[in-house]
Structure 1
């Protein structure tokens, strides 16, 4: 009460100093009873008697009525603010000189961080409770209440609020780093315990119950979770009572919540792309994070903060989406590679893009990842194409408008255009037997949409559903349908021309026919019909003729065989020919070779049979192309091989003699020595020939510990039958032509 009576005395002193100039006299009565009367031009007013007791230059007012009268005089003179100003000045001085140093002194000692914080808050709570009665007494004064309706100090509605604001500004204008660290640790421990105690026990972690508590990280028998939560509630209650809960804990709580969200998102979602996590994360945020925040701000004074938690939830959700998006963007390359299994992760990221502003970050990050991990010589073209196709499919789900795909994959398209084997890889995938995305796209049968075609008519048909492009769309791309075109169209648009792909398919088809030497073409006909839907019948006319040649060759071989059987003639080697219309087939790979006499005689015999059937037409053989099935009989074993005519011609020479030099064998077969050495290497790998001395090869009749039964194939045996693209370009530059009616490739089936 000393504070209150001091206040009354000051009010009297203020009253004395604020007597207006119109006062005529001041009359003193004996016994320290003073009567104040004021005369003015207005009506003479008697303000009553004040019982004043002088005590060491300090004046005291002895009754509540006298205090109210004194306040009334000040308020009538528009001086009501002097009372609050004096009180708050005195209070600020007390906070600065006494309370503040004592409060911060608790953190200069080093017993326990939690104990320091609890004791300091306990002291501040006690001091505040001592001040509150005086503040409430002053606030209850009627005249002060009236005066505050028209005038507020510190923009507050009550003296209590002014006191709290003064305490915040005096004691907590700047936090020492150690204090903030202590508060952070206290609330971090509390959140960890709350998260642990509100989580259902994991059945898989039953063995861990005897080791340590995951909440307080103490041995299970000395668990401190309850003690930590008790201190947590007590501290929040006391900070709430004195109105500084938000000021002390706000920064720490926000930092902890953000850190926990980041950690939980990373631990839960990183590396798993086959599960959708958005709903799981939102549920966790509601139950764990917001549940903990409600505990922090559940006091009477801060109930308004609880009302604001719903608004805070929106900001936390935004932070949750942003954290999740950042994690997914970091691993977006892997997500794309695993598409479509990773589609749930793509859909989650799509939702985050709609709610956050990370689109530019995504484009920059993914573009850099593609360039770093794909666009260098160490990656095969087929792998780059696989990744590009996966990117098209995944990014179309992520951004149906196709803008992200266009921005991110432009360097990939540019790099693919620079590789010589890109077209061949694309065409190979289009007609590959295995399950792949391009074959699935081909089966859809949609027409190509090339850049040169302008805009699609479908855009005009769907004008009612038109939507503007996103702001980051390339304005030079005039048609949205180009970005929405199918995968095959996008691959063709890498070069912007159908002809390259049609010519490559023609070469690939020819190579496949001649290397496999198979007359069953039903599968090839099916692929051709699908390609016609994409590229048009005119472009693929040559390919139709090629397949017709195969069918005709099958019938021709049947007729030749029947004629041979009827005549009873049978050569040493059975011949089946593939008769080709030269002007419709791509250029063949040329290789000089003179076949052994027995092989040449068989070809001449077949030619005669053909001429007998076809009248005025004959055959022009390609002796280096075809397939020969041979059985090689050695001393200890018999081996069967399917090889090219050149390989067969080489091994047949070792029937004449067991040892050959490269020079002699080259002269015998009329083929270059360099090409001969490369072909001989195949027989070396099979263990049939060995290099006795430099450029001298010997037949290996016996081979201990090794037996061969049938068919051994080397990469060289799958060498393309067609001329390389470079050699074809060189031929196109030459002014030459050749008139050849029929071009023939031979296959031989007979023992050596």
Structure 2
């Protein structure tokens, strides 16, 4: 400051001719009024208006207005940087050193932090207010002399002063301040939140006893600090607002605190709760709690945003819309994305949560995250050998329904479901379960879908644009859609989606033929009403012209024809009926329309064979040039087993009936002898005899030797063997249950093997003429010569040829197949 005075004196000596004493007196007045000498004193500046006008005239006379203004402002800035700001930050530096390594998370620590910050802010506020007279003098100097200053901001010297104050504070901010100010606002928000929750009646479960601690300040209830914390908080905010320091010093802290609070609240509210819509409730919570606290912060405790400064209103409104509501949607969506697998599995109960996610997805950019997260969850929790095919399909169906709630266009579904489709395609029992569910009333989920009269939409079947969707309402597909399949496939129904797992209708109709045959031959009744109904629905879905469905129609018709033929042959007017020892009721099947049967050997007793021949003669008389080819191992037999102490009326298989019939003339048989007579393999025969053991009719007295149990005395004579061989008739072992559930039709693999036999004669002809051929050449030639009969991929052909190699029908060397030499 001494240098400043000297400069002024030098300038004065060169610009005025006043006496030296008068000159010095004038400049002393100027220095005292504008504090141009020594350290700036906050107590100065109490001159009256008349004295101030005289000083301004004096400054104007000597032409030093700009010089005086520059040095006056410089004195203020220096005092701010070197005195006021360091004193303010010293409160936090000292507190940080005192608490370094200590625990100030208690209520006493919170109160101490509040008190420390309140003291520091109050001192800063008083210091800044004391500058107002000096700022006012400088403004008058500018008006009277025309002096100018560097106007960094609009609003006059006072705004210029606030800008320098903010800059000085920011340049010297200690690292500990952020932690302390965060504790300050955290403690204040905790008190505010506790007050709001108490006012809304959202108390905790412990309502029967008075809490030991206050939920707001964590102090004992008789020493609550909530009011003191609130008062201190409001005072600090008012002072910071007046100095325009609130946003600079605490804006980021307030934002991070509220964002953390929103995240915690959303996570707690949405934990394992999917059956209720939560987004409206959360929006209301943000308006009540977050906005309510922002009003307290930015309105200085008045809590009325409408009465605040327009700039403050704009700040709070923008923060709400751009920061906190957006954070709410983002947090809610990310929370639900982490739970999405469970939400999908629990559909339709979880539909409210899905609708919330759909609304939030439109306001966030989290679609990619949703797809990757759900695909990962499906891969980890669903697509592994430990999960049944039934569960995988149920999850896939739920995903189809749930993801169409999120995205009716089907893009999300297509992106997520592809791994599931590939996995199901590799499981052997997928088709059987799907077809069984479609035609089984107990599986209502898919059965109800079949009742919807909608044709299939396959991947290679584009459909015309829906005329009910005019171009005026057309909307483009999402950005991901260009990498996916046709739009019609993405919006297809559930059955179409399941059929497209394999991309072919024939696979499903072939499986349906097998299931239909099993149902007809396992029930052995003539009631086909249900099968006709399902067949009609399948025709609507898969198309009436499909050849395999025509075969299914013939199969159902065979049942009705069999009923009519049996009624005619077994009528009382038929003379052959009296000759039959074993009445026969036959299911007559058209062999070329039915799928292949399992081939099992069984030689029926002669008396049974005679009755079957009698039935065949009657059929030939009825049908003329047609005859019957019997399948002796298929069917059901009503038997009556008369023992000494009981009589059993049972329905058994022909093999089981043949076994017990042989024990009628001979009470003891070995497995080897019985197998020779019945021509049934020993392993199969051993399994079939188990049924009669469970009924207490047969007993194994030696290894693979069985005797007929006539009464209780037989069991007593055989001792321990009887105990081991005879079990309660009511307890059937798993072998019997498995036998009853066993399909009479050939497996899909066996049926496919039979179809591929069509190629064998062509392959033999090729290799006879060309000696040896690679797989690719054989496949190409078969596609050329056997078009339209049986479809066969190169992988299937390789497996077929490899089986021929194992059976020594072919030789494979150096990548070439050739016939063995005789």
Shared fold per TM-score greater than 0.5: yes
Structure 1 equivalent of residue 658 of structure 2: 649
SS at match of 1:648: helix
Is residue 2:91 matched to residue 1:126?
Answer: no
Structure 2 equivalent of residue 515 of structure 1: 522
Is residue 2:489 matched to residue 1:482?
Answer: yes
Is residue 2:313 matched to residue 1:313?
Answer: no
Task: Give distance in 2, aligned partners of 1:176 and 1:662.
Answer: 96
**CA shift for structure 1 position 309:** 1.2
SS at match of 2:634: strand
Q: 1:128 to 1:219 in 2, by over 3 A?
A: closer
Task: Give distance in 2, aligned partners of 1:688 and 1:151.
Answer: 119
Q: 1:636 to 1:67 in 2, by over 3 A?
A: farther
**CA shift for structure 1 position 276:** 0.9
Structure 1 equivalent of residue 411 of structure 2: 403
**CA shift for structure 1 position 143:** 2.6
Structure 1 equivalent of residue 566 of structure 2: 557
Matches within 5 A, 1:687-698: 691-697=700-706
Matches within 5 A, 1:665-676: 665-676=674-685
Unaligned runs of 5+ in 2: 100-107, 303-307, 716-722, 761-822
| Among 38, 53, 56, the residue aligned to 1:65 | 53
Going by fraction, where is helix more abundant, 1 or 2?
A: 2
Confirm or deny: 8 A CA contact 1:27 1:34 kept in the other structure: no
Q: 1:736 to 1:218 in 2, by over 3 A?
A: same
Task: Give distance in 2, aligned partners of 1:667 and 1:363.
Answer: 64
**CA shift for structure 1 position 533:** 1.1
Confirm or deny: 8 A CA contact 2:514 2:745 kept in the other structure: yes
Q: Which moved more, 1:484-493 or 1:315-324?
A: 484-493
**CA shift for structure 1 position 233:** 2.7
Q: 1:635 to 1:340 in 2, by over 3 A?
A: farther
Q: 1:146 to 1:107 in 2, by over 3 A?
A: farther
Matches within 5 A, 1:107-146: 107-110=96-99, 112-140=109-137, 141-144=139-142
Matched residue pairs, number? Answer: 715
Is residue 2:578 matched to residue 1:580?
Answer: no
Confirm or deny: 8 A CA contact 1:413 1:494 kept in the other structure: yes
**CA shift for structure 1 position 420:** 2.4
Task: Give distance in 2, aligned partners of 1:148 and 1:716.
Answer: 112
Structure 1 equivalent of residue 598 of structure 2: 589
Q: 1:340 to 1:81 in 2, by over 3 A?
A: same
Confirm or deny: 8 A CA contact 1:121 1:238 kept in the other structure: no
Confirm or deny: 8 A CA contact 1:594 1:670 kept in the other structure: yes
Q: 1:17 to 1:673 in 2, by over 3 A?
A: farther
Structure 2 equivalent of residue 741 of structure 1: none
What are the Cα deviations for residues 541-594 of structure 1, in whole angstroms up to 9, with x where unaligned? 111111110111112222223246777617443322111111111111111111
Q: 1:49 to 1:97 in 2, by over 3 A?
A: closer
Task: Give distance in 2, aligned partners of 1:425 and 1:273.
Answer: 29
Confirm or deny: 8 A CA contact 1:639 1:708 kept in the other structure: no
Q: 1:414 to 1:33 in 2, by over 3 A?
A: closer
Unaligned runs of 5+ in 1: 1-5, 37-47, 738-752
Structure 2 equivalent of residue 342 of structure 1: 350
Structure 2 length as normaliser, TM-score? 0.78
Q: 1:139 to 1:204 in 2, by over 3 A?
A: closer
Confirm or deny: 8 A CA contact 1:427 1:501 kept in the other structure: yes
Going by fraction, where is strand more abundant, 1 or 2?
A: 1
Structure 2 equivalent of residue 499 of structure 1: 506
Task: Give distance in 1, aligned partners of 2:146 and 2:554.
Answer: 102
Of the two structures, which has the highest relative contact order with CA contacts closer than 8 Å and spacing of 6 or more?
A: 1
| Among 741, 756, 763, the residue aligned to 1:733 | 756
**CA shift for structure 1 position 688:** 5.4
Confirm or deny: 8 A CA contact 2:5 2:37 kept in the other structure: no
| Among 49, 69, 82, the residue aligned to 1:93 | 82
Task: Give distance in 2, aligned partners of 1:155 and 1:505.
Answer: 82
**CA shift for structure 1 position 247:** 3.2
Task: Give distance in 1, aligned partners of 2:173 and 2:699.
Answer: 86
Structure 2 equivalent of residue 436 of structure 1: 444
**CA shift for structure 1 position 525:** 0.7
Confirm or deny: 8 A CA contact 1:273 1:345 kept in the other structure: yes
What are the Cα deviations for residues 326-353 of structure 1, in whole angstroms up to 9, with x where unaligned? 1111111111112122111111110011
Confirm or deny: 8 A CA contact 1:443 1:530 kept in the other structure: yes
Confirm or deny: 8 A CA contact 1:106 1:120 kept in the other structure: no
Structure 1 equivalent of residue 462 of structure 2: 454
Confirm or deny: 8 A CA contact 1:11 1:70 kept in the other structure: no
Q: Which moved more, 1:321-330 or 1:203-212?
A: 203-212
Structure 1 equivalent of residue 103 of structure 2: none
Q: 1:291 to 1:635 in 2, by over 3 A?
A: farther
